[in-house]
Each structure stands twice: as structure tokens, then as C-alpha cells.
A = this chain, B = another copy of it.
Amino acid sequence: MGVLERKEREKQEMRELILQTATCMFLEEGYEKTSLRNIAEKIEYSPATIYLYFKDKKELFYAIHERAFENFFVHMSSAEKIINPMQRLRRMGELYIEFAFQNPELYDLMFIMRAPMEAIKESRAEWGHGPRSFELLRTTIINCMEAKLMKPMDIDVAALSIFSFIHGFTSMTIRDRLIMYPKESLRPLLEKSLDNMIDLMKA
């Protein structure tokens, strides 16, 4: 019964082709310009074919979102080997900033755009990826407190404060809301502010 297996594999390969093509176009041209027609044209298939592999455009972009979060999680996990939780926290901030500034479009899709979250809502699925990465931060903060390296405070308050701060800065950079500062100064300013914030939280 090798036929069914091959068919399944081919189905996956086709899905992958669509996904890769859509991702490329999204990174180069943005969400609006990545129309189903343009994707279909590039892979030399009819637009309707895409609907055999993805329910609609939102689900296609949820798939891209999902994959981006997997890479993000791996990226962030590389800090886990750092034993000192305070140093690990700082490193996680650095990794986060790195990811955001190197992949602004993906970051936008992951943390700002509506489309992928609406796809989740419509499919009644739950969003595992966001909370999973957030747990990395939360755990590190617990470790900091346990080691008495961080002032005692509510864990959710501490985690949300740091996360909100970095995301706020990053998203305003991506969405052009910090134009009162020169573009090149933003990342250094973010790093400096992160250092400052972590310092304030030190025991």
C-alpha cells in the first residue's frame, strides 16, 4: 500500500510549496501584495488550487505565523543553557530584540497582525505558541526570585512588564510610531532601556 503514502507525501509537498512561496512573497512584498492569485501564478497553479490545501488566506498566514513561532521558540531557547537566571533574562531580551529587528515582517505577523489570530478563532483552536514562549520568560523570572537576585514582586506583573516593554518598543519601531528619534538610534536605545529596566528590578 505504498500509493496512499506517496499521495500523502505529495500532498504535504504541495502544501509546503505553497507555504514557502507565500512566505517568500510575504517577506519581500508584504501581506497585501501577497495575493492568492500572485502565489498561484508563481507556482504555476490555479488560484482555486490553494483552497485544496488551505481553508482560506487567514489559515495560510496562520501556518506561516505558526512556523515563525517555532523558529522563535528555538531561537529563544538558546538562552536556557545560561545558569545565572539574571544573566539568562538579559540574554533572552537580547535574543528577542535580535529576532524582531532581523525579521520585522515575521514579528509583525506574530505579534501585531490580526489575520492569524482570527484564523485560530474561526477554527476554534487554541494558541499554544504565544503562551509557550511566554512561559520561558515566566520561568526565568521565577528562577531570579528564587535565587533572590530580583526584588520580590508578583510574577505575572514582572513577566508582563518586561514583555510589554520590549514588545511596545519593538512594535512602535516597526509601525513607525517612534519617528521622533533617528532610526539608527532606536535599537541602541532599546538595549539601553532594557539594561536599565533589569537593573531596576535587581534585588
B residues less than 8 Å from A177 (CB atoms) = 111, 117, 130, 167
- Asked whether any CB of chain B lies closer than 8 Å to the CB of A172, the reply is yes
- Asked whether any CB of chain B lies closer than 8 Å to the CB of A20, the reply is no
Q: Is the CB of B117 within 8 A of A157?
A: no
Considering only residues 152-168 of chain A, those with a C-beta below 8 Å from chain B are 153-154, 156-158, 160-161, 163-168
Number of A interface residues, CB 8 Å? 41
Q: Is the CB of A192 within 8 A of B130?
A: no
B residues less than 8 Å from A172 (CB atoms) = 111, 164, 167
- Asked whether any CB of chain B lies closer than 8 Å to the CB of A179, the reply is yes
- Asked whether any CB of chain B lies closer than 8 Å to the CB of A48, the reply is no
Partner of A130, one of B153, B157, B166, B180: B180
Q: Is the CB of A112 within 8 A of B169?
A: no
B residues less than 8 Å from A180 (CB atoms) = 130-131, 134
- Asked whether any CB of chain B lies closer than 8 Å to the CB of A200, the reply is yes
- Asked whether any CB of chain B lies closer than 8 Å to the CB of A171, the reply is yes
20 contacts between A and B (CB under 8 A): A112-B112, A112-B171, A114-B175, A130-B177, A131-B179, A156-B189, A157-B196, A160-B169, A160-B178, A160-B190, A161-B196, A163-B168, A164-B166, A164-B168, A165-B168, A166-B168, A167-B168, A168-B168, A168-B171, A200-B200
Contacts from A to B (Cβ < 8 Å)? 111-114, 117, 127, 130-131, 134, 151, 153-154, 156-158, 160-161, 163-169, 171-172, 175-181, 189-190, 192-193, 196-197, 200-201
The 3 closest A-B pairs by CB, nearest first: A168-B168, A164-B168, A164-B169
